[in-house]
Amino acid sequence: MNDLEIVIGLEVHTQVKTESKIFCACSTKFESPPNTNICPVCCGYPGVLPVFNEKVLSLALKVSCALNCNINKDIYFERKSYFYPDLPKNYQISQYKMPLGEKGYLEISTGRKIIINRVHMEEDAGKLIHKDNYSLVDFNRTGTPLLEIVSDPDIHSPQEAYDYLNSMKLLLIYIGVSDCDMEKGSLRCDANVSLRKKGAAKLGIRVELKNMNTFNGVRAALEYEVKRQSKVINKGENVVQETRLWDFQKLKTVVMRTKSDAHDYRYFPEPDLLNFCVSDELIESVKKSVGELPLEKKRRFMKNYDILEKEINVLISYPWLSKFFEEIILFYPKAKDVCNWLIGPFLEQVNNLDNGFSAVKISAENFSKIVKFFSEGKLNNLGAKKVLALGLTTNEDIDSIIEREKLVQVSDHEELLKFVEEVISSNPKAVQEYLEGKQKSIMFLVGQVMKNTRGKANPKVAKDILERRIQI
Ligand code: ADP
Ligand code: MG
Ligand code: ZN
């Protein structure tokens, strides 16, 4: 294996966010009843004419710009012909000779820039639902706008492929082009992999891998395939060029078809759509709309805030969260404290909401007060979490929540002393154990004070007082 180099190229299909399909006015809504979002155009009736959805162009341009591609301004579509029951027209409208974007790159988390070969627009096919001894077809998906993003054979390990996919997904989400939900089919990936002797000029014979439903699946399938191919090569045999399917239950790849059944798609220009030229104004305005990309944001955060890289990774992995973070520190500039509360209790509570971030109502200012009150000792950890839970989806004023729920932390010695005395006298065993050196007992006693004060005591102060009283 050591003298072999791994070569991987990835083909990503992503559904771009539009209300209607790419060549007709049908809705792209997910989970509509089968065959309700269809019309003569997307069902390929004779004599109908497709009309190109302009929104697809601007979203595709945005991706091409964010991936640093050269833009082919002359747009024309081609027909890719093949027969399949989920393809009512028997051809798919796609771009072939002149993809919208060419020769760009995607920078991944290691800093490597993976070369992007092409970005092109096309329409999706329908969906087959296989039952015991018959199959059903749902054409709702036919004509859904897709972008195909193809990398050069420029990826050199399964882990790098995994990094590429995560970086691609985050970029697409950041620029607002796709929700990249693999479960809904809005992001899919095929992988091509080959091995060659290190330093060899020619690429090795490749295998195409399909049917991976998660990024982990892509990485696992590639790892399996690298091992399989290296065994073949080490035996002195040749890898067979073929398409293999990932079996995620057996954790292996199995042959789907060999090169001999390779398709000839008979591409030719789509006669029903006009060629047109993208204006420089549109390209310029799309370029401006791209905004800060995830890695740029990460670098800026690393430079400006005293937060660990792994914490910044969490912040930037949710565009919404990183924006909220920067809004909060306008009110309370201790970035580290704000970050801890965001990626800790806040995320935990948001994950329990049905609608995630979209259900969050708390304002940046209100959130900043929770962090501030906690840092200054007005609220203890429990109290702050409770205030957060109460304000998260209501945005009720934090001061009034604290007052209503009587959550102000008790740090006052006189007041806590009463509770401490009581806990000491009612827990003689724990006190004795502590005196005999069992450190854990003190935490038990602190816990009792917390319980008796209904969580309001300042645990640090309570511990101090306990220690001093017991030593006396
Ligand atoms: P196809 O026509 O089968 O789609 P492409 O030339 O478009 O083939 O390539 C598909 C993907 O396969 C691209 O991502 C490309 O980088 C990758 N690829 C091509 N040749 C190899 C190879 N020998 N090893 C690994 N990946 C390859
Ligand atoms: Mg291809
Ligand atoms: Zn339609």
Q: Is the CB of 206 under 6 A from ligand 1?
A: yes
Report d(CA 106, CA 163) in Å as an integer.
11
| pLDDT at site 406 | 85
Give the DSSP letter of residue 22: S
Residue (of 466, 359, 454) closest to 420 by Cα position? 466
- List per-block mean pLDDT (blocks of 10 residues) for the chain, which spans 472 residues: 90 97 96 96 95 98 98 96 94 96 97 97 96 96 98 98 97 95 92 96 95 95 97 95 94 84 85 96 96 95 96 95 97 97 97 93 97 92 94 94 88 89 93 90 93 89 91 71
Whether the Cβ atoms of residue 395 and residue 361 lie closer than 8 Å to each other? yes
92: which strand partners? 80
Q: At which residue do the structure tokens 């909401």 appear?
A: 353
Q: What is the pTM of this model?
A: 0.88
Q: Is the CB of 150 under 6 A from ligand 1?
A: yes
Q: Is the CB of 204 under 6 A from ligand 1?
A: yes
| pLDDT at site 263 | 74
SS3 48: coil
Q: Looking at ligand 1, which atom is closest to the CA of residue 153? A: 16
Choose which residue among 80, 117, 192, 256 to substitute to test ligand 1 binding: the one with the highest number of ligand atoms within 8 A of its C-beta.
Answer: 192
Residue (of 9, 5, 4) closest to 206 by Cα position? 9
Q: If you take atom 7 of ligand 1, which residue's CA is the nearest one?
A: 150
Q: Looking at ligand 1, which atom is closest to the CA of residue 203? A: 23
DSSP 217-264: HHHHHHHHHHHHHHHHHHTTPPPPPEEEEEETTTTEEEEEEEGGG---
Q: If you take atom 15 of ligand 1, which residue's CA is the nearest one?
A: 9
Whether the Cβ atoms of residue 121 and residue 278 lie closer than 8 Å to each other? no
Residue 385 has a CB neighbour count (10 Å cut-off) of 20
| pLDDT at site 277 | 97
252: which strand partners? 247
Q: Looking at ligand 1, which atom is closest to the CA of residue 11? A: 14
Q: Which domains does the chain have, with CATH numbers?
A: 4-286 (no CATH), 292-405 (no CATH), 413-471 (1.10.10.410)
| pLDDT at site 107 | 97
| pLDDT at site 261 | 60
**Among the residues of 118-214, which ranges form H helices?**
158-174
